[in-house]
């Protein structure tokens, strides 16, 4: 009984810890390099599309 209670408590502590740590990673600011990357990919796509059609 006490073992089950300890196990449940440990599991809850782990879940809380996971959410806290992963939340910190998820909330981190996204560097500008990704804006630039998305723009480059879109530009490249826009450049290649007319040629593909012709």
Partner 1 sequence: MSVASPRRSEQTATLHADPREEIVEHLKPMRAFAMSLTKDWAKADDIVQDTIVKAWTNIDKFEPGTNMRAWLFTILRNTFYSSYRKVKREVADTDGVFSARLSEKPSHDGRLQMRDFEKALSKLPIEQREALILVGASGFSYEEAALTCGVAVGTIKSRVNRARNHLSALLDLNGNTNFEMTDEATLAVVAMNTSVTR
Question: Which residues contact partner 1 (rule: CB under 8 A)?
Answer: 2, 5-6, 9-11, 13-22, 24-28, 30-31, 33-34, 37-38, 41
CB of 52 to partner 1, least distance (A): 14
CB of 54 to partner 1, least distance (A): 21
DSSP letter (8 states) at residue 37: H
User: Buried b vs exposed e over 38-51: b needs ≥16 C-beta within 10 Å?
Assistant: eeeeeeeeeeeeee
CB of 18 to partner 1, least distance (A): 5
């Amino acid at each position: 009984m006490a073992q089950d209670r300890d196990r449940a408590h440990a599991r809850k502590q782990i879940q809380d810890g996971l959410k806290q740590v992963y939340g910190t990673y998820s909330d981190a600011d996204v560097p500008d390099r990704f804006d630039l990357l998305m723009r480059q990919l879109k530009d490249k796509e826009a450049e290649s599309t007319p040629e593909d059609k012709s």
